[in-house]
Amino acid sequence: VLYLLITAPWFIMVSIANPEFAEFFFIHEHFNRYTSEVHSREGPIYYFVPFLLLGVFPWVTTSLRPVLKPAFRWAPDKPGQFDPERFMWTFAVVTFCFFSLGQSKLPGYILPILPVIAILAGKQIKETGRIRPDRWAMLILGLVYLVGAFFVERLASGHYPAEQWALYKPWLIGSGTLLLLGFLALSVRKFSGRIAFAGAVLLSLSAALLVVSGAGSLAESRSSKVVADVIMESLPEDAPVFSFQYFPEAAVFYMGRNVTTVEYEGEMAMGIRLEPEKHIKSQDEFLTIWQNLEQAAVVVKLNRLKNLKVEALNGRVVYKGPKTMVIIKS
């Protein structure tokens, strides 16, 4: 009841101001997302298993032991007695199974269970002190990073060129080295359990941060910030920006201005239906508008470039990245 009193007023006020909100938010974005493939996020029932393992790596055995073999009593000693360990175990298992059975799947859906699993693992570590089996996971992953770093450029593709992977190499080497040090910390017998554990935790955490930070080497292929920067440097703030057959969400954020979509609706279908004047249905309509403008920019993905009549734009290419091209008229 308290939860409803806190949250319901906002939903009620939004629904009064926007009558279409309730159906879109509760039915389309939640019920239909879970029960149908309308959002094209389907996956097999085991979809979340590798993401769970990735989320707890390298503490695989330490993290999964309390989930697969919980230490609490299934039947409470006293009726109605609250057991926080049972509660957290139930939350983690039910959440994982619930989303595994759904028709829409994204890795982030199971993120809330990772801190809970960490707490359960911490309790068992305190009680049993068993952490050494995870040193082998550190050894394997460390070797994978170290060896793989020297072959990482073979992952190059049209979207992720070799130059970007080459910049990732030192990050992988550093991460692999830290994981091997974590393996040594857990393997050297003269270290006490707590010292070895604390050292391995800090080293594995640092290794993970290096891998995540190094992913910035691939940023040009993953982020629209460079697209936004190029447009802001090339055109004044009031110049219109278009996107052809896709929508660069991040670029809108970085630029702080609207982008008009051309021949694309996607998740904005409802918004376009309510405000059709903010969308251009056809390329011919877009070209007519474009030719009457003194300054403008259009963003197009390279795999959609063949569908755009580039010669009719009479513009110049100011940016061509691994995935995206920006054409301006000025």
Could you tell me the pLDDT band of residue 39, with boundaries at 50, 70 and 90? confident
**In the predicted model, is pLDDT for residue 155 greater than 90?**
no
**In the predicted model, is pLDDT for residue 189 greater than 90?**
no
What span, in angstroms and rounded, lies between the C-alpha atoms of 260 and 276? Answer: 11
Q: What would the two tokens of residue 35 be?
A: 């029960």
Cβ atoms within 10 Å of 155's Cβ, excluding its own: 12
**In the predicted model, is pLDDT for residue 192 greater than 70?**
no
Question: Which single residue is written with the structure tokens 């309790």?
Answer: 123
CB 200 within 8 A of CB 178: no
Burial 122-153, CB ≥16 within 10 A → b, else e: ebbbeeeeebeebbebbbebbeebbeebeebe
What residues does 317 pair with on adjacent strands?
327
Q: Which of 275, 276, 268 is nearest to 29 (CA)?
A: 268
Instruction: Encode 62-122 in three state secondary structure.
Output: HHHHHHHCCCCCCCCCCCCCCCHHHHHHHHHHHHHHHHHHCCCCCHHHHCCHHHHHHHHHH
pLDDT at position 132 is 72
Q: What would the two tokens of residue 150 be?
A: 């020297």
pLDDT at position 80 is 74
Quote the radius of gyration of the chain (alpha carbons, Å).
26
Cα–Cα distances in Å, from 328 out to 11, 203, 252, 316? 42, 48, 16, 6
Name the average pLDDT for the chain. 90
**In the predicted model, is pLDDT for residue 134 greater than 90?**
no
One DSSP character per residue, 30-69 reads: IIHHHHSSTTS----TTTHHHHHHHHHTT-HHHHHHHHHS
CB 71 within 8 A of CB 85: yes
What does the pLDDT average to over 4-31? 91
Could you tell me the pLDDT band of residue 13, with boundaries at 50, 70 and 90? very high
With a pLDDT cut of 70, the percent of the chain lying above it is 99
Angle formed by the axes of helices 162-187 and 134-149, to 10°?
150
Could you tell me the pLDDT band of residue 191, with boundaries at 50, 70 and 90? low
pLDDT at position 146 is 94
pLDDT at position 133 is 81
pLDDT at position 279 is 92
Question: Which single residue is written with the structure tokens 């508008």?
Answer: 289
Q: To 5 degrees, how large is the angle CA 278–CA 279–CA 280?
A: 135
pLDDT at position 76 is 73
**Distance from the first to the final alpha carbon of the chain:** 59
Strand 260-262 to strand 316-320: parallel, antiparallel, or no bridges (unpaired)?
Answer: unpaired
